[in-house]
A and B are shown apart, each in its own frame.
Chain A
Amino acid sequence: SQTIHQWPATLVQPVGSPLSLECTVEGTSNPNLYWYRQAAGRGLQLLFYSVGIGQISSEVPQNLSASRPQDRQFILSSKKLLLSDSGFYLCAWGPRTATEAFFGQGTRLTVV
């Protein structure tokens, strides 16, 4: 069966520090991968999606970037965090030929 792993679960970082969140998927190949952010009291916003290694699409302009160095690995990064980057970040994967998205357990990021 497929599983998705996301870490760390919680993170407190000072403003201006770098960020690296990692997500890996097991039990499937060539998945679509997604990064979503959930700000407090709001819905989920799609940040990035990837349909293959090295293929990244950004949905909104922001201080973050994403990379997909391997088929089942998706990384969310920032060179310098802003206070506004605080939120709950969720990685998700979806089968190439279906429409569902399955989510990881999320990372709660607090920028102080």
Chain B
Amino acid sequence: AQKVTQAQTEISVVEKEDVTLDCVYETRDTTYYLFWYKQPPSGELVFLIRRNSFDEQNEISGRYSWNFQKSTSSFNFTITASQVVDSAVYFCALSEAWISNFGNEKLTFGTGTRLTIIP
């Protein structure tokens, strides 16, 4: 069975500090996908990134960066020079590979990390 653990329930940092959100996953699949979503106070989940299990290259997008390490089953998310607009709940998620005739996307979510950026 798949499982995603986000051990940090809440994090608060002062604006402009860097912050890393941890994500550890469990899966028996050799092919899988990892995701990060942002949930601002409005409630909608905003897709941030998808990585497949064969691509361990770290990715940077502006102030956001992701560190994928299969050896430790982790997919951590770092925000550099944090801003108040980064305040949100962040979810890490895992999905099985596309395997069936129809295929389906069944995301297993972590419990989320509430990030508060203090002005």
Contacts and interface: CB of A to CB of B under 8 A. Distances in A.
Given A105-B42, A106-B43, A94 B112 contact: no
Interface string B41-84: 01111110010000000000000000000000000000000000
Interface of B: 4, 33, 35, 37, 42-47, 50, 91, 93, 95, 98, 102-112
Contacts, number: 64
B43 A105 contact: yes
Contact of B110 (A41, A43, A90, A108): A43
Contacts of A46: 106-108
B57 to A, nearest CB: 18
B104 A32 contact: yes
Interface of A: 32, 34, 41-46, 49, 51-52, 57, 59, 88, 90, 92, 94, 96-97, 99-106, 108
Nearest to A9: B43
A103 B40 CA distance: 13
Given A88-B43, A104-B44, A108-B43, A99 B105 contact: yes
Nearest to A55: B102
Given A42-B111, A43-B110, A43-B112, A34 B105 contact: yes
A43 B98 contact: no
